[in-house]
């Protein structure tokens, strides 16, 4: 349940900096909302000593509630309404009535993908540190077009800084683990920042590691149900490399470097 430290660090940054902007409070709301689902799951596992925690259906139901709220809020108050930026081509696409179902699907997928990335010491923390730093730079470069971007840049920087501080205790050998409260809260931040800034389509680039982790699980489950055989030695993807003989620190370092490269590509694609 060390993710509480990350949440408190972000709140402290915002409150002491007096960054009282509506978009900042919106991101905090979704951070706390998704984090609350993880907190209940961690409470059941750690305090009540029930290893299964929340049932998958209960988790998804809770995530759907906040994802629909995020989609609705984004359609009304995001920097671009129901329009999304398209990477590399300097064009935009207006989803119209498809916006809410698309963003709902995106939010649920992103939150769970970030959660799946939390499996090795410092992996999720380091990846999210880089991802949020990239979004902070992107939002900062766009702040002259819409004042919302200034708040998004600040909350993204706060999240990146909180991850940097947490990494000191979470890097191998980890002394503190974020738990679901941390990974789901970070997932909520990543999803809400992307939605409110209209940069949802940049997540597959900047958050390519999240995508790879999620796809590896989907492929593994689907293929095993059909053939009773596994494509990966173990899923999510970071465990596959461990089973191939990579040291944990090597897997984490390679994933960090990959995320850094992808972040530069994402920033360049604006």
Whether pLDDT at 48 is above 90: no
Instruction: Return the HEC string of the chain.
Output: CCHHHHHHHHHHHHHHHCCCCHHHHHHHHHHHHHHHHHHHHHHHHHCCCCCCCCCHHHHHHHHHHHHHHHHHHHHHHCCCCCEEEECCCCEEEECHHHHHHHHHHHHHHHHHHHHHCCCCCCHHHHHHHHHHHHHHHHHHHHCCCCCHHHHHHHHHHHHHHHHHHHHHHHCCCCCCCCHHHHHHHHHHHHHHHHHHHCCHHHHHHHCHHHHHHHHHHHHHHHHHHHHCCCCCCCCCHHHHHHHCCCCHHHHHHHHHHHHHHHHHHHHHCC
pLDDT band at residue 61 under the 50/70/90 scheme: very high
> pTM higher than 0.85, yes or no?
yes
Whether pLDDT at 1 is above 80: no
Q: Would you give the DSSP letter of residue 96?
A: G
Q: What residues contact residue 97 under an 8 Å CB cut-off, 6+ apart?
A: none
What is the tens place of the pLDDT at every residue in 20-44? 999 999 999 999 999 999 999 999 9
* Residue-level pLDDT at 52: 81
Whether pLDDT at 146 is above 80: yes
- CA-to-CA distance for 256 and 243, rounded, in angstroms? 19
The mean pLDDT of 141-161, rounded to a whole number, is: 95
What is the tens place of the pLDDT at every residue in 234-268? 999 999 999 999 999 999 999 999 999 999 999 99
Domain chopping of the chain, boundaries: 3-203
What is the tens place of the pLDDT at every residue in 163-194? 999 999 999 999 999 999 999 999 999 999 99
Find where tokens 């590509």 sit: 265
Whether pLDDT at 74 is above 80: yes
What is the tens place of the pLDDT at every residue in 111-138? 999 999 999 999 999 999 999 999 999 9
């Amino acid at each position: 349940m060390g993710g509480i430290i990350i949440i408190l660090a972000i709140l402290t940054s915002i409150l002491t900096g007096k960054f009282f902007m509506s978009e900042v409070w919106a991101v905090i709301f979704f951070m706390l909302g998704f984090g609350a689902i993880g907190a209940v799951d961690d409470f059941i596992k750690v305090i009540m000593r029930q290893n299964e925690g929340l049932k998958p259906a209960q988790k998804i139901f809770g995530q759907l509630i906040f994802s629909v709220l995020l989609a609705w809020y984004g359609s009304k108050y995001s920097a671009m309404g129901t329009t999304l930026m398209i990477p590399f081509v300097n064009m935009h696409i207006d989803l119209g009535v498809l916006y809410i179902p698309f963003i709902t699907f995106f939010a649920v997928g992103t939150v769970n993908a970030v959660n799946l990335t939390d499996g090795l010491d410092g992996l999720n923390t380091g990846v999210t540190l880089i991802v949020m730093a990239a979004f902070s730079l992107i939002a900062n470069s766009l702040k002259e077009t819409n004042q919302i971007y200034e708040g998004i840049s600040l909350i993204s920087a706060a999240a990146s800084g909180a991850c940097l501080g947490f990494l000191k205790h979470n890097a191998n050998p980890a002394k503190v683990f974020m738990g679901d409260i941390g990974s789901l809260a970070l997932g909520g931040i990543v999803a809400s920042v992307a939605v409110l800034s209209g940069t949802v389509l940049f997540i597959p680039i900047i958050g390519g590691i999240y995508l790879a982790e999620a796809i590896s699980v989907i492929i593994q489950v689907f293929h095993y149900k059909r053939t009773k055989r596994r494509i990966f030695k173990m899923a999510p993807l970071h465990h596959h490399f461990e089973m191939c003989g990579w040291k944990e620190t090597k897997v984490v370092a390679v994933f960090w470097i990959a995320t850094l490269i992808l972040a530069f590509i994402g920033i360049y694609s604006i």
